[in-house]
Amino acid sequence: MSKLIVPQGYAPALGLYQTQEAIGLIKSEFQKQLSAALNLKRVTAPLFVDPTTGLNDDLNGVERPVAFDIPALGIDAQVVHSLAKWKRYALYRYGFPAGEGLYTDMNAIRRDEEPDNLHSVYVDQWDWEKVITAAIRSRDTLKLTVQLIAKAVCSTLETLKEKFPAVTLTLSPDVYFVTT
């Protein structure tokens, strides 16, 4: 990773295995907090899709998907880049009503990504989508959603700090909005 920057004198707060434990705790706690706050249910995301379905989101149109054949099914498959299209399809397919949604832990390979401190060729990220009606699609709904996510992040951090006192990060659940 030629663009990785490690600050001089940096020392991790946790050891290597403790870091893995902390990641696991964050993943499970944040999922619990987020799903409760936003009325979401967990749905398993696909690792790969059939490109003929149109569900593999090309993000900005220049990514080359990792592809492979599945002889037993007689199809080629692509490792997902993004689940933007799939999430909307899943909401419909699972029959989620207005006010409910899904969250998933997406794994992807983005072969054309330029790795740095924030980006990797391997992607492991949460993703979520919720059914909202035109009647509630507003700036106030967006603000409330952002505030609930911020509270879920802060609550997750507090749980992490209880288990790992060496973690000293602090966050405020206060969110400020700026519009133009």
**In the structure encoding, which two tokens stand for residue 179, read together?**
């519009």
Among residues 27, 23, 40, 156, the alpha carbon closest in space to that of 87 is found at: 40
Say what the pTM is.
Answer: 0.85
For 51-90, the pLDDT digits (tens) are: 888 888 766 667 788 899 999 999 999 998 888 889 999 9
Q: Count Cβ atoms below 10 Å from residue 178 Cβ, excluding itself.
A: 4
Q: In what order do the strands lie in the sheet with 48-49?
A: 48-49, 75-79, 67-70
Superfamily per CATH, domain 16-163: Bira Bifunctional Protein; Domain 2 (3.30.930.10)
Report residues of the chain scoring pLDDT below 70. Answer: 1-2, 58-61
Amino acid 157: pLDDT: 98
Report how far residue 31's alpha carbon sits from residue 111's, in angstroms, rounded to the nearest whole number.
27
Amino acid 123: pLDDT: 87
DSSP string, the chain: -TB----TT---SS-HHHHHHHHHHHHHHHHHHHHHHHTEEE-PPPSEE-GGGS-S--TTTTPPPPEEEETTTTEEEEE-S--HHHHHHHHHHHTPPTT-EEEEEEEEE-TT---BSS--SEEEEEEEEE---TTT-SHHHHHHHHHHHHHHHHHHHHHHHHH-TT--------------
Domain ranges of the chain: 16-163
Residues 6+ apart with CB under 8 A from 34: 40, 103, 126, 128, 149, 152
Average pLDDT, the chain: 92
